Each structure stands twice: as structure tokens, then as C-alpha cells.
Amino acid sequence: MTPLLEVDGVSRSFGSVPALVNASLTVERNSITALIGPNGSGKTTLFNVITGNLRADTGRVRFDGHDVTTARPAALYRRGLSRTYQQARVFSQLTVEENLVVAGGFGLAQLFGRRVNRRDRQRATELIDEFRLGRVADLPAAELSYGQRKLLEFAAVLMSSPTLILLDEPTAGVNPVLIETMEHHIRRLHAAGITFLIVEHDMNVVMRLCDPVVVLDQGREIFTGPPDAVREHPAVLDAYLGA
Ligand code: ADP
């Protein structure tokens, strides 16, 4: 079986700053793969290249057997690749329920362009239940706490029935109870067959949840392996502790 996602030799520079240098990465089907690395190592740039938000200068990206190197985000979304952002992106003026319904159609066009279909409404109701957002379902997202917004964004990516979800720091800045909640949802969805690629700074979360772990440093992939091998690997120690 081909891997669900293959990034092959991707480079991307911003002016003279090389953000990714011949970076490669494989995400096997139904894995929870971690992407870690020091600040500035290229994690966000790699996410953006995978999701079609940024073009690679060189290299290829394949998703589910298709070359998606030049695919746009909306096309990837329809194919089953969804993502969250470090700062949760939700529509502040829309209610929790409206945010979910809108996500089903990849944007506001859904609300304003055509009638919302019954299936999306039903799915939104299920997700509100699964993510225990019932008490805030009719509130504008602006009134949610930071953590609730992250949960809402997570629920929203499920509206498209994705096969691969990219999570950008799902536990950053959230309290310990919500970290557990996030882990619970990732495990539950993983058990249901969803594949994850996760940028995560909290090594405890990485150790509990992810296998394999991919380490980026200065735009290069320097290590891929099981979580217990990561902490001892000289190149990884060097990247985190070196000058
Ligand atoms: P990480 O997510 O691992 O912190 P990034 O992908 O954000 O790393 O950044 C990798 C490198 O690319 C850094 O040197 C950063 O300054 C640079 N970079 C990222 N985005 C831009 C941009 N839009 N313009 C200029 N430089 C950028």
C-alpha cells in the first residue's frame, strides 16, 4: 500500500532564507506522525506546502497516490486533507454551529452562496455532541475561550470527512484538562481510521501519542523513528541543545 502522504525533496526559500532544504517525509496510513524541530526549522512552511497554501520551489508532494504538488487548498480539502492552525482560525461572528456548517462547504460560500444542506446540519449536530460544545453551540465563536476555539476548529475539520488531518500545535497554550481532551479526540479518531500529522512542542504529548516522530532542523529532515529513539539521537540533541 502506498503511504497516505509523501513529501519528496521539497525546497522552499523566502528571498535568501532557505526555509526547507530538500526535505522529505512519509506519513503512513493510519499513523499518528509527529513533526518536531526547533523554532524556525521549517515545520510551518512544510505544513503550508503540503496543504497547498505555499508552492514548493522544487520537489513533489503526493497524497493518496495523487501528485498534489500544485494543488490548491480547496482541492486538497475535497480530497480529504484538512488542517488546523497554531492560532485557531474560526469565524468570530458566526456561532459554533454556523462555523461547523460553513466548514462543510470550505468557506462562507456555503452560507451565502447556496442553501445549507440537511446532511451538513446533521453532521454539525453530531460534532457538537462529540466535542461537548452543546452549551456554546449558539454563541458567536468570539465569545469562546481560547481552548474552546481550538476544540471548535478541530471539530470543524471533521466536517469534510478527512482521511488525513494536519494539526498545528493542538495543545499549545491550553490547560492540562483540555490537553487530555485533545489527546482523547486524536486517539478516538485515529481508532476510527483517520491519519494524523501533528506539529507538537510538548514532548510528553509526542511520546504518548505519536509514532513515528520526524525531526526537522534548518529545513532538513534529520531523523525519523520511534519516539523513544528520538530523545537519545545525537543529531536531535544537537539540534535542540546545540548552539
Ligand atoms: P517553524 O514552523 O519550524 O518555526 P517556519 O517554517 O515558520 O519554522 O520558518 C522556517 C524559516 O523560514 C525561518 O527562518 C523563518 O524565518 C522563514 N520564514 C517562514 N515564513 C516566512 C515568510 N513568509 N517570509 C520570510 N521568511 C519566512
How many residues would you count in the chain?
243
Predicted confidence band of residue 116 (pLDDT cuts 50, 70, 90)? low
Mean pLDDT in residue range 189-202: 96
pTM comes to: 0.93
Does the beta carbon of 192 sit less than 6 angstroms from any atom of ligand 1?
no
Predicted confidence band of residue 240 (pLDDT cuts 50, 70, 90)? confident
Packing angle, helices 96-104 and 146-157, rounded to 10: 30
Q: Which of 11, 44, 167 to mutate to test the pocket of ligand 1 (most atoms within 8 A of CB)?
A: 44
Q: Of the given ranges (98-112, 148-162, 183-197), which has the lowest mean pLDDT?
A: 98-112
Does the beta carbon of 112 sit less than 6 angstroms from any atom of ligand 1?
no
Mapped onto helix, strand or coil, the DSSP state of residue 179 is: helix
Atom of ligand 1 nearest to the CA of 39: 4
61-93 pLDDT, tens digit per residue, is 999 999 999 999 989 998 999 999 888 888 999
Residue ranges per structural domain of the chain = 5-89+162-241, 91-143
Atom of ligand 1 nearest to the CA of 38: 3
CB 125 within 8 A of CB 104: no
Distance from the alpha carbon of residue 152 to the mean position of ligand 1, in angstroms: 27
Nearest CA to ligand 1 atom 23: 14
DSSP-derived secondary structure for 91-158: -TTSBHHHHHHHHHTTSTHHHHHSPPPHHHHHHHHHHHHHTT-GGGTTSBGGGS-HHHHHHHHHHHHG
Task: Determine the pLDDT at residue 115.
Answer: 61
Residue 215 has pLDDT above 70, yes or no: yes
Distance from the alpha carbon of residue 41 to the mean position of ligand 1, in angstroms: 8
Does the beta carbon of 16 sit less than 6 angstroms from any atom of ligand 1?
no
Mean pLDDT in residue range 148-159: 94
14-52 pLDDT, tens digit per residue, is 999 999 999 999 999 999 999 999 999 999 999 999 999
Task: Determine the pLDDT at residue 113.
Answer: 52
Does the beta carbon of 48 sit less than 6 angstroms from any atom of ligand 1?
no
Separation of alpha carbons 217 and 122, rounded Å: 43
CATH topology of domain 5-89+162-241: Rossmann fold (3.40.50)
User: Where are the alpha helices (H) located in the chain, listed in sequence order?
Assistant: 43-50, 73-79, 96-104, 109-113, 118-130, 146-157, 176-191, 203-209, 227-230, 234-241
Does the beta carbon of 110 sit less than 6 angstroms from any atom of ligand 1?
no
Distance from the alpha carbon of residue 185 to the mean position of ligand 1, in angstroms: 29
Predicted confidence band of residue 108 (pLDDT cuts 50, 70, 90)? low
Separation of alpha carbons 146 and 185, rounded Å: 17
Residue 107 has pLDDT above 70, yes or no: no
Nearest CA to ligand 1 atom 5: 42
CA dist list (Å): 171 to 129, 174, 204? 21, 6, 11
Bridge partners of residue 82, in order along the sequence: 165
Mean pLDDT in residue range 165-172: 94
Bridge partners of residue 10, in order along the sequence: 23
Task: Determine the pLDDT at residue 162.
Answer: 94
Residue 243 has pLDDT above 80, yes or no: no
Cell numbers 526559500 label which residue?
Answer: 13
Mean pLDDT in residue range 157-165: 94
Residue 242 has pLDDT above 80, yes or no: no
Task: Determine the pLDDT at residue 49.
Answer: 97
Separation of alpha carbons 218 and 211, rounded Å: 22
CB 157 within 8 A of CB 84: yes
Residue 133 has pLDDT above 90, yes or no: yes
Identify the sign of the CA torsion 50, 51, 57, 63.
positive
At residue 204, φ and ψ (nearest 5 deg) are: -65, -40
Mean pLDDT in residue range 112-118: 64
